[in-house]
Amino acid sequence: MWPTAKAVGLRDRPNDESPARQVAAHLAGEYTEVMFGVRVRRNPDHWKNACRRHPRILNTLLAMLVILTATLVPRPGRAQMLRPGKFSGVVIFDRWDSCILYSGVFLMYVSENVKEGLRQYQGQAIQLDVSKFVQRMNPGDALITEYRMLGPAPDTASHSPVPTVPEGLVLTADGPLKNQGLPAVTVSIRNVGNESVRIVTSEIGIALLTRKEKELDYLETPSDGPSTAVITRVGVVSRGGKLEISSGEIKRSYSYSSEPDSPLPREFDLAPGQSRSTRLTFNVPSGEYQFIFGYGGGGFQAKCLTSNKVSFDIPK
């Protein structure tokens, strides 16, 4: 529901007669009345006369309409229900042969029934036209059930807020290591190119996958394969996170924490040959796991770069 305090306030300012204020007032009045079920005022002559008196009203109205339309365009991966359309990501087949479309902070599962069509693109950044999927909760990951291959994932245009993956960037996951008896992985970003690059840390996402346990009901995941992600939708910019799964009397807790002594800044530059790294430590129950991290993608919008995979087991 849209808040109306500001909308009412605009209409209650009799001393402000600017065209922009008048347009905002009219828009606020119309939308407020519609949203709350009040009868909408319909007077086309009123608008026609207003535009004749103030020619700038029409231009302002069109500009506001463009802005409003832009804010309503669905952005994959954000806190909303997804819609069919174009999705970009790296094709990943994990150690249990489940398939995901990986986009750094976000991922989508690919159904067991249609994953073979993507096997030849393993490790490549591609773009799909997804026509059918299952999303059980909002926000939440989705299961791709029908798609059409479009080709390589597009590079992000310079005017887009999604950062383009720089040439010469290499992601490396080193592990598994031990940190106070817990499994840990060092994530490193190196610039092997010839020019300095700017890294936006919020675009560095991590994922921890695990084999499903037969005794647990994985209601939180739409994955229909043998594995699922227990840590995702987070990145190294966060100091840590936790997921709990319960099935009857059985409970599982999965958490991670970043190295407090070597946090990555929100943005940083890498000169040619330079690298930055930090360590992630996992507190997870017994089971089989695989870790991967990536950079870029902007929520399935463009090209993403991924690291190598690190597998480890926690014995019972």
**What is the pLDDT, as a whole number, of residue 240?**
67
Cβ-Cβ contacts under 8 Å for 158 (sequence gap 6 or more): 164
Q: Which residues of the chain have pLDDT under 50?
A: 1-44, 47, 61-79
**What is the pLDDT, as a whole number, of residue 52?**
59
**What is the pLDDT, as a whole number, of residue 2?**
30
**What is the pLDDT, as a whole number, of residue 35?**
30
Q: What is the pLDDT of residues 255-303, one digit of tens each?
A: 999 887 777 888 999 999 999 999 999 999 999 999 999 999 888 999 9
If 0-12 CB within 10 Å is exposed, 13-18 middle and 19+ buried, where does residue 31 land? middle
Domain 85-314 CATH assignment equals 1.20.1250.20: no
| Per-domain residue ranges of the chain | 5-72, 85-314
**What is the pLDDT, as a whole number, of residue 4?**
31
